[in-house]
Amino acid sequence: MSDDPNKPERPRFEPEIIPPDSDGQQSGWRNSPSRDARGAPFGGGHGTQRVFVTRLGPFGIALLLLAIAAIVTIILIAAVGAVLIWIPVIAAVLVIGALLRVFRRLGPR
């Protein structure tokens, strides 16, 4: 019964664990194309970077709402502009259709 289909498959190889260098960088990453000559990632700073998250005050909330309103206004103007462009096209198609119908009735019998 060694061919049990429910038996989980074992990994084919073990992962390689690369210890960090003396400066704290991974030795395998130093020659990576995404690092500069100093070994800094993407040509940027050293070590750990911090991200500070703070609560929004009344001024920050007002700016956020203003930015959202500006984006919604731009999208609305673009949508209305797209609709306004189609009004003359639809009118022209209707006029041409009406003229063809009139000419078809007046044509030879």
Largest Cα–Cα distance of the chain, in whole Å?
99
Within this chain, do residues 59 and 103 fall inside the same structural domain, yes or no?
yes
pLDDT at 23: 58
Q: Record the pTM.
A: 0.41
| Coil/strand/helix, residue 26 | strand
pLDDT at 2: 59
Within this chain, do residues 61 and 91 fall inside the same structural domain, yes or no?
yes
pLDDT exceeds 70 at position 9: yes
CA distances from 17 to 10, 27, 40, 94, 95 (A): 19, 11, 21, 72, 75
Number of domains composing the chain: 2
pLDDT at 3: 67
Phi, then psi, of 23 in degrees rounded to 5: -90, 5
Domain that holds residue 104: 55-109
Residue 59 located in a structural domain: yes
pLDDT at 42: 56
| Coil/strand/helix, residue 35 | strand
Interval 34-57: pLDDT, tens: 555 555 555 555 567 778 888 889
> Which tokens belong to 76?
């609305």
| Apex 19 CA angle, 27 and 31, nearest 5 | 10
